[in-house]
Structure 1
Amino acid sequence: MTSPSLWQPLTLGRLELEHRLALAPMTRNRANPDGTPGDLVAEYYGQRASLGLVISEGTQPSADGQGYLTTPGIYTPEHVAGWGKVADAVHENGGHLFIQLMHVGRLSHPDNTPHHRQPVAPSAISAEQDMFTAEGPKKTPVPRELSVAEIQDVIGEFRHAAASAIAAGADGVEIHAANGYLLHQFLAPNANQRSDEYGGTIENRARFVIEVARAIADEIGADRTGIRISPAFPLGGLDEGDTEAVRAQYRYLVGELAKLDLVYLHVHHLGDDELLSSFREVWPTAVLVVRYGRERDGIAADIGNGLADIAPLGRFALANPDIVERLRTGAPLNDLDPATLYAGGARGYTDYPTLTPA
């Protein structure tokens, strides 16, 4: 059995949640080649709907936003139709769907995108990362720096993607401003070396993230808009500086985002609890916290100590479609099969056993 704090209901914007668990966003590479999620994707998310708040894998708002093979999009009519089936499956099984909007920026390769163009980024600085392509691993190329006008275009793409998510039947969207992708790149001094209004100072580096959040909230409602951040995560070759630099950047960013009254703040947390506490002090709505390496007995810790309202689950939920029942009853958990994380097909995706066979 787990802490009673996990089983308290919560109002999240327009949603009534029965408990404090959620599905964390996890890339699974099962979309069709054109980025449309198919029936298998709908089955996967429907299986995990008991988690209540189901946050989808990263979903590109445009062709430029794609970084990996067979990741889903949410910018064409076909994408909307595919996500409609996912939303239906989640709703039919009692859950609520938020689609995570992820523009990868420089973490891409022309081989993996529909138009095969050079990636875009805040500055023309390569991530120097290995990117898996159909021909095997290749280094991410030097990206093209976005002009100020193009930045406005990207904001428009996010707005359109959010509207498309709602048109598909999703309950909201999560803005991915974390884990080394485009919005996070604007926050990191070693990736953003601009000298205009989108670079240089703390305020300027935060501007793009804030403008994306404002545009989406204006389009679909702040009560259907969440955002994810990952302070000091060095993913994708990012370096945000020392502890004090990170704290200064994110205290400003979160303080400004708090004014928008977004429905939640999702923190992929590296361990600076002082910083996390400062977010809690200013954030007006729900806070979600994910920690790397968190074990079963630590799932409720941040809720119990007041740092979080919701505990999203990653690998536990991936390997256990009925993770809610297993945690409620103290049942053993399935082990994760790492070899099938991105392999495609049903194996390691929709075939994990449940306590009660379907």
Structure 2
Amino acid sequence: MTLWNPITLGAIELPHRLAMAPMTRDRSRPDGVPTDLNREYYRQRASMAFIITEGTQPSADGQGYLLTPGIYTEAHIAGWQEVTSAVHAEGGRIVVQLMHVGRISHPDNTPHGRRPVAPSAIQPKGAMFTASGLQDMPTPRALAADEIAGVVDEFRHAASAAITAGFDGVEIHGANGYLLHQFLSSNANRRADRYGGSVDNRIRFTTEVVSAVADEIGAERTGLRISPGNPYNDMVEHDTRDLYPALVRALAPVDLAYLHVIQGGDEELLRELRQEWPTALVLNRAGADLDTRVADLDAGLADVITVGTMALANPDLAARLRSGAPLNQADPATFYGGDHRGYTDYPTLAAAAS
């Protein structure tokens, strides 16, 4: 079975091919500094091929949700150093996912209380949970053309901070309706300048961010996550068959460590991206059973697979699968926010036996 074969993603050597997907858990400090609880959560899951952290804001403008971590201040770096050291002490590998939410935010959830920024001033549908309850997300402020280079530099700075904090690499979040995806989309991006309109213009921001991060920390430690056709967070994409192959072709010469694809149902597009992409392809087939995901590895469609809920509920998932042991079931009521319950108290096989 391909699942247990080692593989190297750029500079990151993996003992097998079952990785932990990024999952927002809303348990950091209000200032975005990771806690001892975060350290324990990631330490427990160090036996995954590698861990991709929860979405982590590269700047104050990048925050959308309560109690999500940051990686742009000295305090953030110090907090994450505790996490990466704990994971490495257990023999694990961990990369940080840089997530700028763009318009998927509310001023009450940010350290400065300003309006969200986005490609265009178009209000997203939906509400955001804040300390005072659910509130409609406001109409964002469109980034001026001369501001975009500054946002690119925020990603560059955060990537540098991540390496200082001990991460093995960085994954740039270009999926799920957040800022990079907003620039790629047909509905959130109505710009008439060099960042909007044509496919080449709409992929420009993503290619600039990826190139900046790769230049800062090395392409061999840089990955990108995309979700072609994903409508989450009020996204509309009318031209995925043109957009994503163009994006992949534009980024192929950068020689990134990996491309992380959230599969949204277009199998023909997935196979085209697999063919076009020159390095490792990490695949998240959301909602699929494990047999289906492993079959993607065996067929060569994916080089690594990521799982979310299974890793959340089973800190020793790899050991359980190798031995055929039963899996813990996740408790959705504890997914977001709270304390150790549903976070660090899922039992391992060893704990259950004792």
The bucket for the TM-score relative to the shorter chain is over 0.9
TM-score, normalised to structure 1, is 0.97
Amino acid at match of 2:228: P
In structure 2, the partner of 1:340 is 334
SS of the residue 2:283 aligns to: strand
**1:240 aligned onto 2:245:** no
**Inter-partner Cα distance in structure 2 for 1:174 and 1:24:** 11
**1:123 aligned onto 2:120:** yes
* Counterpart contact for 1:177–1:227, Cα < 8 Å: yes
**1:102 aligned onto 2:99:** yes
Amino acid at match of 1:221: G
**Inter-partner Cα distance in structure 1 for 2:215 and 2:50:** 22
Residue deviations 1:220-272 (CA, integer Å, cap 9, x gap): 0000000000000001101001xxx1110001001111111010000011121
Shift of 1:119: 0.3
**Which residue of the other structure, out of 245, 254, 258, is the alignment partner of 1:251?**
245
In structure 2, the partner of 1:36 is 33
In structure 2, the partner of 1:78 is 75
Superposition RMSD on alpha carbons, in Å?
0.8
Q: Which piece of structure 1 moves more, 157-166 or 45-54?
A: 45-54
**Which residue of the other structure, out of 341, 344, 355, is the alignment partner of 2:349?**
355
**Inter-partner Cα distance in structure 2 for 1:296 and 1:158:** 34
In structure 1, the partner of 2:10 is 13
Shift of 1:297: 2.4
**Which residue of the other structure, out of 289, 293, 304, is the alignment partner of 2:287?**
293
Residue deviations 1:177-216 (CA, integer Å, cap 9, x gap): 0000000000011100000000000000000000000000
**1:48 aligned onto 2:48:** no
TM-score, normalised to structure 2, is 0.98
Residue deviations 1:145-196 (CA, integer Å, cap 9, x gap): 0011111100000000000000000010000000000000000111000000
**Inter-partner Cα distance in structure 1 for 2:231 and 2:193:** 25
Shift of 1:274: 1.1
SS of the residue 1:312 aligns to: strand
Identity of aligned residues (%): 61
In structure 2, the partner of 1:217 is 214
In structure 1, the partner of 2:178 is 181
**Inter-partner Cα distance in structure 2 for 1:90 and 1:298:** 29
**Which residue of the other structure, out of 152, 156, 160, is the alignment partner of 1:155?**
152
Which stretches of structure 1, 4 residues or longer, exceed 6 Å deviation after superposition? none
Shift of 1:345: 0.9
* Structure 2 alignment gaps of length 5 or more: none
Shift of 1:284: 1.4
In structure 2, the partner of 1:142 is 139
In structure 2, the partner of 1:229 is 226
**Which residue of the other structure, out of 221, 246, 260, is the alignment partner of 1:266?**
260
Shift of 1:126: 0.7
* Structure 1 alignment gaps of length 5 or more: none
* Counterpart contact for 1:107–1:129, Cα < 8 Å: no
**Inter-partner Cα distance in structure 2 for 1:91 and 1:331:** 26
Alignment: residue pair count? 352
**Inter-partner Cα distance in structure 2 for 1:164 and 1:46:** 20
Amino acid at match of 1:91: H
**Inter-partner Cα distance in structure 2 for 1:291 and 1:206:** 24
**1:58 aligned onto 2:65:** no
**Inter-partner Cα distance in structure 2 for 1:271 and 1:339:** 28
SS of the residue 2:233 aligns to: helix
* Counterpart contact for 1:52–1:94, Cα < 8 Å: no
* Counterpart contact for 1:192–1:199, Cα < 8 Å: yes
**Inter-partner Cα distance in structure 1 for 2:78 and 2:156:** 18
**1:320 aligned onto 2:314:** yes
**Inter-partner Cα distance in structure 1 for 2:49 and 2:88:** 9
